[in-house]
Structures are given as C-alpha cells and as structure tokens.
Amino acid sequence: MKINRRTLLSLIGVSPAVLAGSPAKADQSKKKSAQKSGEAKIETLNPKGLPPPIQLIPMAPRLSSLDGKTIFLVSDGFAGADRFLNQIAIWFQKNMPNVKTVYRLKAGSYFDDDPKLTAEMKASGNAMIMAYGH
Amino acid sequence: MGLPTAPLVTIAFKDLAKTNAANRGMPGERICFLPHPMTNKTDEEMYKVLEGNDPVTNKPLMPEIIAALTVPLTAEEQKSGTVTPDIGPATYVDTQENLQRIYLDNNMTDFMPIILPTEEKVQAMLKGTSHKPDEVIGTLSAARGAQPSWSFTVRHVAINAVMAGAQPEYLPVILAIASTAQPALFSSTSSFSRMLLLNGPISDQIKMNYGIGAMGPFAEPNAVIGRAWTILSKNLGGCGMPGLSYMGTLGSNFNYNNICIAETENKLPDGWKPFHVQKGFKPDDSVVSVFSGWSLNNVAWFPNMPYHELIKNWLTHFFSFGTSAATLLLDPTVAREAKQKGYNSKEELSDYWSKESKTPAWLYWDTHKNELKQAQAGVEPYASYLKMGDGEIPFQRFYRRGRPGAPPDPNPKSSVEIIVLGGETNTYWAGGDFSYVTSASIDKWR
C-alpha cells in the first residue's frame, strides 16, 4: 500500500510544507507571477536530496484492561524522568492497586534501542509507559 | 516491540514527537503530552501534573494514558505498507523574483538571496569535479539515529553549491564536507555550532583568506563554502526545520557560515605541524576538518605573564555547555612566543595546557555529584578537594576520556586542539569549546 506523505502528515496535524519542498507554496507564487506580464520565466532545479521511504508499522494490540497487568515505566535518561515515573507508580498504587509497575532506565542514548530491556518487557510485561524529554 | 505503549513527551516537542513517530512508521502513535519543562519540578508538582490535563488535548492526563494502552486500535493504526516522501516538483518555473521567494518560503535557503540553480549553472558547477553527477555520496541526518538519514548524489551537492554562490573550483571542498555525513545544523536543544578548517594546497588554490581577518567576511571561498554547508544540510539531510529537525532554543549565528577558515601554514613556528598533518595526512594533501562546539572567546588581553600561561589560566576558568574539550585559535605571533618559550610542537603545548589547567571548585562539584557524596563521606582525594573551598581543584578536565564506566586510559590524550591563523596585526587569540570531529580528503573529490 502506498500513502502520499502529504496525507500522512495531515493525519498527525503537521503541515507537509515544512517537511519538504512545498508545491503548494510554489503554486501560490506562480499565481502571483501570472499577474505580472512581460517578465521572463526561467526553470530552476529542486535542491532536495532523497528522504528514505517510510515503512508503516501496525501498532501493538491494546489491552482490554490494566487490571492485574504489569506496566514497565521506562526512563529515556533525561533529567527528572525517574522521579516523574515514580510519581506515576505512586498514582497507580493509590488509584489502581491491582496494576503492578516496574521502573527501568533504558540503556544508551535517548534514541538507542535497548534489546535486553525489550526482551525483559516482552517476557514479563504487558505494557509500557515511557518518559519524557526535558 | 509488540507491547502497547504510551509515550509521554513535554509539549515543547509536540511537532518533533509526532513527526518522528510518522517518520518511523507510526503516524498514529498515542503520544500523551506534559507541560514543559518538567526537569525542574518537585515531586509534589510532578504529581499535580498527573492529576491535571494533557496540555494538547486538554483532557485528564492519567485517564488518557490508560486509554492509550486500552482503547482498541483503529484501522489507520493497524496499517502497514510504504509511504513515499514528497519532496516537491523536480523543477520550478517562474520569474526570478518569485523563484527566490519559493526557495525562501520552503526553507531551502539560509534566508538570504541565493543564486538560482538553473541546469546551465549546475552543469558548469559539475565541471569542478571528475566524479559522475549520479554518484551517491552518502547520507545526511539532522541527528543520526533519531532523525531520518537522507541520501544524495554529486549532482544534488552541485545544485546546493550553486545556490550558495560557489565557484566550480570550490566544489571538491563542498563534496568533501558532504562526504563526512556531518550536518551543519545538528538537532539539539543546545544550539550546536560547527567549524570548518581547510589545510593543504587547496587554501591557496582557491584563495582562502588566512591572513588579516581570517575569521571574518573578507574572502569569497571562506564565505561561500561555509554557507554551502548550511544550505546543503537543509536540503540534503532534512536539517534545520525549527521544531521538527532543529531544536536549538537560542540558535547560533555561527551557523550562517560555520566558521569556515584555513590555517596559516606558512607562518607556523618551526617544528609545528599543520593541523591535517597532526591527523595523519601528508603536508601536500588538501583536507577539510570538521569541529563541533558552541562558542568562542576572542581574547584581547596583554598580560605580564607569557601567553601560554594566560591561556592555561583561561582554560582553568572557561566553561560552557562543553567542559572537557577546547580549541585554541592562535595568531602566528602568539604561536611564535610559545615556541620561544620552549614549546616545540602543538602537541607539547596542548599537553602542557591539559596537565596544568585545573577546575574551579563550583564547576567541579556541579559536574561530579557522586564525588561530592564521597567527599562528604570523607573519601580521599575528594574530602581534601572539599576543604579547598572556592579555590581551584587539581582536576584536569581537558583530556579525552572514555565512556562512563570504561576503564581509565593510562595515557589519556589532550583534548585541546591548536590552530594557527591570522594576520599578525596583534597578539590575539580565540578559544572555545569546539572539539575535533573528523577530517576528509578534498583531493578525492577533485
């Protein structure tokens, strides 16, 4: 299946114009130029390189309920994420005591995979909450 | 991964997070948003965030997180397949005035007028290299691993070189820069700056200025080559889109030109090697070296002590985002004085600076929290450091160190780089937190 990236970005609420060459804006300028007569037009080249194709990944099936489930609370390593996830653990203890939470700090940089942690979560967890940036 | 996930992101990164999710194949990822910043909140304030609303949806946060994990998937969220990125038309046809506006409005420039890249101009540019136009050079990303890696060819680089105003004889330099896979505009909240250093015969061949005003706007290649790196980073790597692939909160004015300089090799003191030779190239090789950092101090100070001692003291007290690497840019007069004081190579001077510079106490304790706990428990040498009060701690921070947890290197190398340039009109020098990244052969791209 092929989906135009413009359609995809519209789905997430981001203007396609900011991500690549924007034919929409080019069209507007062309209309503007059409109002002017006698100015020579020239042809110029698009300077963009080649972004990689995007493989859509189906999201994991959701749980019917969190009751009795184990949720991994995973920090990406930014300052304070550990404290914030601890507050989430406290929230579950107070409000949904049947939910078990397990805190983990992801190994590596914020964009690195952590295969060991992934294997652990798949083996003993039901869901993940990850936080958070700055 | 196969597990239902609720990612939590602060609202400052909303567009970045959504775009990244889309680029990685999950445009519908159920991201829940938090206020920004979270880092400085107390535990009590953090708990109140949980009891509050998602600032994007304005719905209660914890129920939203639970829904992200439990509400059945929509058909859109279960889709697979391939999305073809849209980079716009192959060509634009319009008046020159309107074309300038099209390139500017689509973030394809540095927001200054460009040379419009016609086929004729690009063909003329391609005469600057023996490489075929369709040769793939490599990939470029705003943050490798976190942002998509775009691919590009010699022709793509030539188009961007035309836009920057380059002459065909500059093209091998620009191709070499592109081959490093280093973007001029790196995505980080810290507003990285970059620096380009040319060494070897190329500097005179294209008339780089390395004399009076070596770091200023006084020569065409210095101006244009640095500019080309920023423009090509936007167009060949998807870099420099604020909020999406560029997050530097203050930004850096250096990014307009990326401090494109050449070393004054003909004024190096006897025994001092040009920078590229220090990195393993031959003197007759033409090489471009890439540095990364944030800031520079241009120092006007006429001390009673020798300059190398003054710079040692500056290193002790200098700090910025980076605290363990430095690059010194010395006028030839300053370099000659260091030679007269007995430093027979850049390496000797660099080693002296790394060995003898210290660290202000407040900076040491602010960056060594575990050591502070040990100091408070009486563990040496940290306990003695603590007794020094507000003084200088004998901690040598300008050494290349391994990753945290790695065994200590018995012979660590100095992280202070030295470049000699300038017109000898006075004994000035500049220093900053730039660190060496990589070098690339320019001759390979002739």
Instruction: Check A64 against B70: CB less than 8 A apart.
Output: yes
Does the pLDDT value for residue A28 go beyond 60? no
Which chain B residues are closer than 8 Å to A127 by Cβ? 3-6, 69
Average pLDDT, chain B: 94
Q: What is the share, in percent, of chain B residues with pLDDT greater than 70?
A: 98
Instruction: Check A45 against B231: CB less than 8 A apart.
Output: no
Choose the closest CB to B5 out of A2, A58, A128.
A128
Please classify residue B31 by burial: count the beta carbons closer than 10 Å to its beta carbon, then call 0-12 exposed, 13-18 middle and 19+ buried: buried
Does the pLDDT value for residue A3 go beyond 70? no
Instruction: Check A110 against B146: CB less than 8 A apart.
Output: yes
Instruction: Check A84 against B38: CB less than 8 A apart.
Output: yes
Instruction: Check B50 against A2: CB less than 8 A apart.
Output: no
Beta-sheet pairing, B392-393 with B296-299: unpaired
Residue A107 to chain B, least CA–CA distance (Å) = 12
Q: Which of B41, B102, B155 to mutate to test the interface with A (most CBs of A within 10 A)?
A: B102
Residue A70 to chain B, least CA–CA distance (Å) = 11
Which chain B residues are closer than 8 Å to A11 by Cβ? 27-28, 76
SS3 of chain B: CCCCEEEEEEHHHHHHHHHHHHHCCCCCCCCEEECCCCCCCCHHHHHHHHHCECCCCCCEHHHHHHHHHHCCCCCHHHCCEEEECCCCCCEEEECHHHHHHHHHHCCCCCCCCCCCCCHHHHHHHHCCCCCCCCCEEEEECCCECCECCEEEEHHHHHHHHHHHCCCHHHHHHHHHHHHCCCCCCCCCCCCCEEEEEEECCHHHHCCCCCCCCCCCCCCHHHHHHHHHHHHHHHHHHCCCCECCCECCCCCCHHHHCCCEEECCHHHCCCCCCCHHHHCCCCCCCCEEEEEEECCEEEECCCCCCCHHHHHHHHHHHCCCCCCCCEEEEECHHHHHHHHHCCCCCHHHHHHHHHHHCCEEHHHHHHHCHHHHHHHHCCCCCHHHHHHCCCCEECCCCCECCCCCCCCCCCCCCECEEEEECCCCCCCCEEEECCEEEEEEECHHHC
| Dist. CA B159–CA B119, nearest whole Å | 9
| Dist. CA B131–CA B119, nearest whole Å | 17
Residue B134 to chain A, least CA–CA distance (Å) = 12
Cβ-Cβ pairs closer than 8 A, A with B, add up to 322
**B57-B62-B63 Cα angle (round to 5):** 75
| Dist. CA A77–CA B60, nearest whole Å | 25
Instruction: Check B85 against A51: CB less than 8 A apart.
Output: yes
Residue located via tokens 């992801």: A106
Could you give the angle at which helices B61-70 and B43-51 cross, rounded to 10 degrees?
60
pLDDT confidence of A21, banded at 50, 70, 90? Answer: very low
Could you give the angle at which helices B96-105 and A23-34 cross, rounded to 10 degrees?
160
What are the residues facing A55 on neighbouring strands?
B82
pLDDT confidence of A73, banded at 50, 70, 90? Answer: very high
Nearest to B214 by CA among B223, B224, B201, B225: B223
Residue B274 structure tokens: 């040009």
Instruction: Check B241 against A19: CB less than 8 A apart.
Output: yes
Instruction: Check A42 against B236: CB less than 8 A apart.
Output: no
SS3 content of chain A, % helix, strand, coil (to 5): 35, 20, 45
Residue B301 structure tokens: 């100070």
Which chain B residues are closer than 8 Å to A20 by Cβ? 85-88, 238
pLDDT confidence of B322, banded at 50, 70, 90? Answer: confident
Report the chain B residue with the minimal C-alpha distance to residue A64: B70
What are the residues facing B401 on neighbouring strands?
none
Mean pLDDT of B361-386: 93
Beta-sheet pairing, A70-75 with A100-105: parallel
The string of pLDDT tens digits covering residues B241-276 is 998 899 999 999 999 999 999 999 999 999 999 999
Type of residue numbered B209: N
Residue B404 to chain A, least CA–CA distance (Å) = 11
pLDDT of residue B405: 63
Which chain A residues are closer than 8 Å to B142 by Cβ? none
DSSP secondary structure code for residue A77 in this structure: S
pLDDT confidence of B400, banded at 50, 70, 90? Answer: confident
Mean pLDDT of A54-80: 94
- Close Cβ partners of B351 (under 8 Å, ≥ 6 residues apart): B414
Instruction: Check B87 against A46: CB less than 8 A apart.
Output: yes
To the nearest 10°, the Cα dihedral for A4, A6, A7, A11?
Answer: 140
My answer on whether omega of the bond before B217 falls inside 30° of 0, hence cis, is: no
Domain boundary assignment for chain B: 8-78, 96-294+439-445, 307-437
Does the pLDDT value for residue A11 go beyond 70? no
pLDDT confidence of A32, banded at 50, 70, 90? Answer: low
Instruction: Check A44 against B25: CB less than 8 A apart.
Output: no
The string of pLDDT tens digits covering residues B59-82 is 999 999 999 999 999 999 999 999
Residue A15 to chain B, least CA–CA distance (Å) = 10
Nearest to B396 by CA among B432, B372, B364: B364
Does the pLDDT value for residue B173 go beyond 90? yes
